[in-house]
């Protein structure tokens, strides 16, 4: 799951010279994921993984790293 998320983020939303060096615990917000990007990421997750992520849960604790996003998705599966 993390690979698919990572691929989407660095292919579509954020530029990183070498995304392979970005770990699952690195900070996505520091890397450049912005509000528009978060919107696109949430819609990608909902479509790809068949979950509905409540708006009120879209907060840094759930978005900050790939591992946190995965846990968030798992809680709604």
Among residues 19, 24, 38, 68, the one that binds other proteins under rule CB under 8 A? 38
Place of tokens 């996003």: 69
Contact in structure between 34 and 15 (CB atoms under 8 Å): no
Q: Does 50 bind other proteins (CB under 8 A)?
A: no
Q: Does 15 bind other proteins (CB under 8 A)?
A: yes
Q: Which two tokens stand for residue 26?
A: 């690195």
Strand (E) or helix (H) holding 24: none
Q: Does 34 bind other proteins (CB under 8 A)?
A: yes
Contacts with other proteins by CB under 8 A lie at 12-16, 31-40, 42-43, 55-56, 58-60, 63
């Amino acid at each position: 799951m993390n690979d698919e998320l990572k691929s989407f983020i660095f292919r579509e939303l954020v530029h990183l010279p070498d995304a392979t060096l970005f770990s699952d615990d690195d900070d996505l917000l520091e890397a450049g994921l912005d509000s528009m990007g978060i919107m696109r990421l949430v819609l990608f997750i909902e479509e790809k993984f068949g979950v509905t992520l409540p708006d009120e849960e879209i907060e840094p604790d759930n978005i900050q790293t790939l591992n946190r996003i995965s846990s968030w998705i798992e809680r709604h599966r």
